[in-house]
Each structure stands twice: as C-alpha cells, then as structure tokens.
Structure 1
Amino acid sequence: LLLLAAWQFLGDKNVLNPSVFPSPRRIGQGFGSLISKGTYPQHVSASMSRVARGFLQGSVAGLVVGTAAALSPWINQALVAFIGIFRPIPAIAYIPLLILWLGIGEESKIAVITVGAFWPVLLNTIHGITGADPKLMEVGRVFEKNYAQVLWKIVLPSAMPSIFTGLRLGISSAWTCVVTAEMIAASKGIGFLISFGRELSQPNIMFVGIASIGIIGLIIDTAVLQIQKKVIYWSPSGKE
C-alpha cells in the first residue's frame, strides 16, 4: 500500500512520465474501460482456455513418460540424451517453428504451452519416484507385497510431493508461455492485450495486462497448492 501511495504521489507530481510510467489511478481507469467494453473477460477467457488445454496435455505426457522412465532403467537411459539436448531449449524458442508447422491458429499456441508444462512435470515425476524411501520399500518386501502394491501404496504416495511441485512449476511455465505466444501471434488474450497497448502507446493498458499475469498466476498457484494439501494431507509438504 505504501508503494502504491508513493507511486501515485510521484505520478501526480509528474516526477514519473505518464506516457511511460502511468500512475495507479490511470491504470485503474484503463482497467475500468476494458471492463465496460466487455473485452477484458474475453482476453482472460482466451488465455485461460489455452493454458487449460496445453497444461493438461503437457502434464499428462510428463506424468506418463516420467513414470515410465523412473520405473524402467532402459527407458531412463534412452531419455538421458533426449532430456540433455531438448530440456535447455526455452519453450518460446519453438514458437516460430510451431507457427511454421501449425499456422498462427490455436494449435501452435497450445503446442508451446504443452512443451512448457511437460518438462517440469517430467523431471519432478522422475525425481519423486526414484527418490522413494528405501526403508519403506524394504518394509513392503518384508510384508510380502507384490510389485503393484508397492508401487501404488508406497512409491506413488512417496512421490506425490515432488509430482505436485512439478505440476505447480508446469502451470507457472504454461502461463508464461501463453502470454509470450499471444504477444507474437494472437487476436485475443492477456499477451495480445499487452502488445496491443504497446502498439497504441497506451502504457496503462500494458500495465493492466502485466498486473493480470501476476494476479491470475498467484490465484492459479494458490488453487494448485490447496489441491496439494487435500491430496497429500499426510505429508509435511501438503501442510505448507
């Protein structure tokens, strides 16, 4: 609140150039204008829809491939070079290539989001499953539990905190990717809103988009954290 008050004070005194750094009041006016025109909900809805589809595809793929790699040594070895080569490449670097392959429609944007969500989920799933407590595994063998029971009752519950960490990182990455993709090629979305404000020299609209990224991202992360607390209630990480 003190920061916002200082920001508004400096804006009123023209210490901050309004054409570059608008005051909170001007940003609020820009937000009100978007709401009154009904365009803001459309932009948010477009971005959220893309994130939902891309994150679902990327997280499911990451869980499946990660589980297979963690449980099968030869699959894990086969993926070492694949992960080492492609993991360091930012998802946004694929945007021009995906636009070339899939066009500038929805599919290229969703593909970028899928890539962005895939890696955190994959790596954390592998880490979680391979990091299962050996003592618990030994207890399962002592009680003569079969492989499926050990996997379902010991390994997966032990891996859930790490898997949820991957999901939280994946949804954050997906949100970043959708904004970047929309800034490059889109007619709706939060990223398009920022780009639109820049092209029309309306910095207050740009700040509305930037603030929306942070606020909506916080809401999404909080929602995932609440789900985590419900699902892995037995783990200290589920009580954060």
Structure 2
Amino acid sequence: MSSLVWRIWLPLAVILVWQGLSSVGLITPLLLPSPLAVGESAVNLIESGEIFGHIAVSLLRVFEGFLLAAIVGVLLGSAIGLWSTFDQTFDWLLQTLKPIPPIGWFPLAVLWFGIGEVSKVFIIFLGAFFPILVNVVAGIRQTDKHYIELARVHEIRFRKFFFQVIVPGALPSILTGLRIGIGFAWTCVVAAELLAAESGVGYLIVDARQTFHADVVIVGMLTIGLLGTLMDLGLRQIESRLVRWKQPFPGVAG
C-alpha cells in the first residue's frame, strides 16, 4: 500500500513543485516550460492528430529493428550457447563490437544504406541486438545440466532436445533480453531519426529542439517513455504466462 502511495504522490509532488517554481518565475520557460504549458502542447498535438502520425512511424521503425534483432539474437545466441565452435568463432568479434554505441555506426549506416528507412532500422537493430544476444547465451548456458544429461542419455533428437529442454530452461533469460532490447530500441529511435527523417517521435523532438520549443521536446520524451513502458508491460504479461515456473519438462524421455 505504501509503495502504491509513493508511486502516485511522488510524481504528483514533483509536478506541483515544478509548476510552483515556474509560476513564481524561478524557472525560465524557454529552458523548462511549466507542466501546464507541456500539457497544453500535448493537447494541441493530440487534437491536430500530428502526434499519432509520428507515433505510427516510430512504432514501425522500432518494430522492424526489434524484430530483426530478436530473430538474429535468438538464433546466433542459441548457436553460441550450444556449440563451442560458434562461441570461439564469434566471441572475439562480438566482444569488440558490443562497446560501440549505435550512434557510432552512423557514418557506415549512411555509406551502406543511404539516408532512407534501412539505415534507421539498422541503428535500432544494433541497439536491441546485443542485450538480446547476451541474455540468450546466458540463459542457454545456465540451463539445468541434469536435463541436458538426461536428454543425452536418452539420445533425444536435436529438435526435441532444443524445444523441450533448452528453450524452456532459457526462456526466462530470453524474455528478459527481449524486454531490455525493446527498451534500447526506443532509446535508439531518437538517434536513428537524426538521419534525415521527416517524421517520427525522434524527429519531432529534434525539430522542436531546433526551434526552441522545449514543451514539445518534453511531450516527445514522455511519449517515447510511455510507449516503451507499454511495450515492456506487454512483454511482462507474455513472460508471466509462459514462465509458470520451472517444473520437469514434459516429454524429455520420449
């Protein structure tokens, strides 16, 4: 109960203090508009429908980049986690590339793909890919060795072994990686939409910054935060349904 109270009252208290400081002139509106000004801008963007067009564009970019990252991350992570040959082949390369921030790939993205949609999706893909990959590898390596040994003793075919032993055992870690990945995808969408974009929430933020509309910048930031939170909640619901919690995997001995 106390936790719920804090979650409600703490943000409300921050907003009230923010509004109070703005009202008495202690905060410069050009740098940090009041909550009322931000709310008014949000209402205007909603009533005009402009914000929904930007949201739709960013959602599509995030979906494409995240989906590609999930597919490649799960497949490559599974191979690295299961076979030492893949681990030895790719580990040094991935460890070298992992610290490079997605924004560092801008020049190559433009050279390879131009300034169209592909370069933007590529940047988002990079942001989501490594968290997914790392968690998939960790999940597979942490799978209960008793189940793996049991599967080997019974000489279970690889397909059955993978889907009935490895996937259930690694699923919590895989889903955690997907949740982290979707968060990074939304983080990268603003950077991706720096690449000559003409729409998207990131573009809205950048355009508002250039015209000194800090209220619109804040609306865009809150929009990205809200969308990211909603997608994370969706993945949490999927996780709660899929991971009832580890019980003996059915059919292993079959």
Q: Answer yes or no: same fold by TM over 0.5.
A: yes
Read off the aligned partner of 1:146 and give its amino acid letter: I
CA drift at 1:137: 2.4
The corresponding residue for 1:114 is: 125
- Any idea what the Cα deviations from partners look like across 1:86-138, whole Å, max 9, x if unmatched? 11111121122201221111110001111222111111111111111112323
Q: Which TM-score applies when normalising by structure 1?
A: 0.93
Instruction: Establish whether residue 165 from structure 1 lines up as the match of residue 150 from structure 2.
Output: no
- Structure 1 residue 147: deviation in Å? 4.0
| One-letter identity of the residue aligned with 1:192 | Y
Unaligned runs of 5+ in 2: 1-11, 248-254
State whether structure 2 residue 223 is matched by structure 1 residue 212: yes
Counterpart of 1:82 in structure 2 is 93
Corresponding residue to 1:43 among 34, 45, 54: 54
C-alpha RMSD of matched pairs (Å)? 1.6
Moved over 3 A (4+): 138-142
1:150 counterpart letter in structure 2: F
C-alpha deviation, 1:33, in angstroms: 1.4
Partner of 1:146: 156
1:23-43 per-residue CA deviation (whole Å, 9 max, x = no partner) reads 100001111111122210011
The equivalent of 1:232 in structure 2 is 243
The CA deviation at 1:141 is 4.5
Give the TM-score taking structure 2 as reference length: 0.88
Aligned partners of 2:193 and 2:49: how far apart in 1? 19
Counterpart selection for 1:17 from 25, 28, 31: 28
- SS at 2:177's partner residue? helix
Query: Quick one: which amino acid aligns to residue 196 of structure 1?
Result: D
Query: What is the alpha-carbon distance in structure 1 between the residues aligned to residue 64 and residue 196 of structure 2?
Result: 18
Measure, in 2, the Cα distance between the counterparts of 1:147 and 1:121: 26
1:194 aligns with 2:218: no
Instruction: Give, in angstroms, the shift of residue 212 of structure 1.
Output: 1.1
Q: In structure 2, what is the Cα distance between the partners aligned to 1:194 and 1:164? A: 30
Q: Which amino acid aligns with 2:165?
A: I
Instruction: Determine the C-alpha separation between the residues in 1 that align with 2:207 and 2:91.
Output: 42
- Please report how far the alpha carbon of residue 179 of structure 1 lies from its aligned counterpart in structure 2 after TM superposition: 1.5
Quote how far apart the aligned CAs of 1:193 are: 0.9
Task: Quote the Cα distance in structure 1 between the aligned partners of 2:108 and 2:67.
Answer: 22
Question: What is the DSSP-based 3-state SS (H/G/I as helix, E as strand, rest coil) of the residue aligned with 2:103?
Answer: helix
- AA at the equivalent of 2:56: S
